[in-house]
Structure 1
């Protein structure tokens, strides 16, 4: 059954990596329609693709699904740049029909304002010491590889999914301290910008809570948590976890439910608005 929301926020899909749950996120979007879809950074993992990452057909299917939402459901899509898809800096800002690619945004709904950003700009390690960030990325990639091996054996024994990387991060005091500081700092940013809340991603930890009167929302990720934020038409936000969804009635549909693959050129360029002007676009 399709559930309709006003806005859905997804971040940290990391397409191009082995850990990306591309099939699951495409299936999630098939089950949940929305007026606004916000892709809040690290959707494509340019860092891994430049090294050892691989682009697969299932990664393309994710964008096929997004384009289908634009074409058939008139969904407005906002793709916000993250640190792993920083290659987008070369074209920001860009708008083509219902697709907008930008750095961040202020979202207003039901009398409240939310500052939406991936979150990496406030990470001093990523912003100021890029080589350390890359080193950390290598360690995290290894942890995700180990996580796949652990869960392979768990599935063979009939055991449920277990996030080893989330467990490790929850046990390391420095990681816990960093997350707490990260959340507090972003809440301060929302207050400075005169917003009621902030919506981010980046740290792969889904959250919906109040911090000194500011609503802090984190959409999680589609590598470990497989979660998204959704806003109903009354302005209420909730976290949705893929592993808690009921697919029993459609277990035999598999990838067919995503629909036929769309021609990217046709969808992106054949139906541009008549007043569209490339004059300000810089390569």
Structure 2
């Protein structure tokens, strides 16, 4: 007897999530765990800022829902034999002390090169390309404080919007889109990462860091950004034919079986993961991302 549709999971080759910021009030830990329960994959790439060490040192706190995210990850390893790659971000720079490390299907490293379906992608959190925070860490912390306040204000705004029956509104994304310096920063950031991919002989680059999900072509380089799980709640997913797509949590119909469709899986996998790099002496840091 065939399995019921509601029991099927969409099967991807690879899923990339970043910027969950576990340990902060703004982290959508419950949502990302539910998202990962909806799908299965051969490779799960956690592309930096999964744990927010900066906030945990100050005013952050660890909740049960934050632990549940790692419980979901461990179940994926155990039940689906998923390979998990945790790449170091700037907010979880405490990982520098143990990089690189591999325990079973879990690898913790600085960055990686991912090869699939004849394409090669350089995967990095992206903070190393932020020249401001690479050299002036105190500015990074000031920026982090400002962003934390903005997220608090965002929660107040959306609380009142929900009471009025209005949809979620990202105040920080709105402000970033209006401030010319922020728009210029994002454009320069994306261009510089595309150049880095070309320098490494890669067809594309996959990053996070700036909390802006994207899938576009920059001078012949496939630029992919997984977004974040503080505001946009987005992830990148690759099917078994090498096609990438952005998935937004708020667009998933969890009640409908139509959003849970099993995708065809090839007889053999052609994934190749290479180039585990060691931490550098001057790791990049972000202003607030």
Report TM bin, short chain. Answer: 0.7 to 0.9
Aligned to 1:217: 224
What are the equivalent positions in structure 2 for 1:69-218 lying under 5 Å apart? 69-218=76-225
Deviations 1:138-197 (A, max 9, x none): 000000000000000000111100000100000000000000000000000000000000
Identify the match of residue 51 of structure 2 among 41, 44, 47: 44
Please state if 1:2 is matched with 2:9. Answer: yes
Aligned to 1:278: none
- Alignment root-mean-square deviation, CA: 0.8
Identify the match of residue 240 of structure 2 among 230, 233, 236: 233
Instruction: For residue 248 of structure 1, give the secondary structure of its aligned residue in structure 2.
Output: coil
Hey, what's the Cα distance between the residues in 2 that align with 1:16 and 1:2?
A: 29
Hey, what's the Cα distance between the residues in 1 that align with 2:135 and 2:228?
A: 24
Hey, what's the Cα distance between the residues in 1 that align with 2:101 and 2:24?
A: 26
The list of structure 1 runs, each at least 4 consecutive aligned residues, that deviate by more than 3 angstroms after superposition, is none
Deviations 1:55-88 (A, max 9, x none): 0000000000000000111000000000000000
Identify the match of residue 16 of structure 1 among 17, 23, 26: 23
Shift of 1:248: 2.2
Hey, what's the Cα distance between the residues in 2 that align with 1:126 and 1:61?
A: 31
Instruction: For residue 79 of structure 1, give the secondary structure of its aligned residue in structure 2.
Output: strand
Hey, what's the Cα distance between the residues in 2 that align with 1:143 and 1:14?
A: 15
Alignment TM-score, normalising by the size of structure 2: 0.86
**What is the aligned residue count?**
250
Hey, what's the Cα distance between the residues in 1 that align with 2:136 and 2:117?
A: 39
Deviations 1:83-134 (A, max 9, x none): 0000000000000000000000000000110000000000012211110011
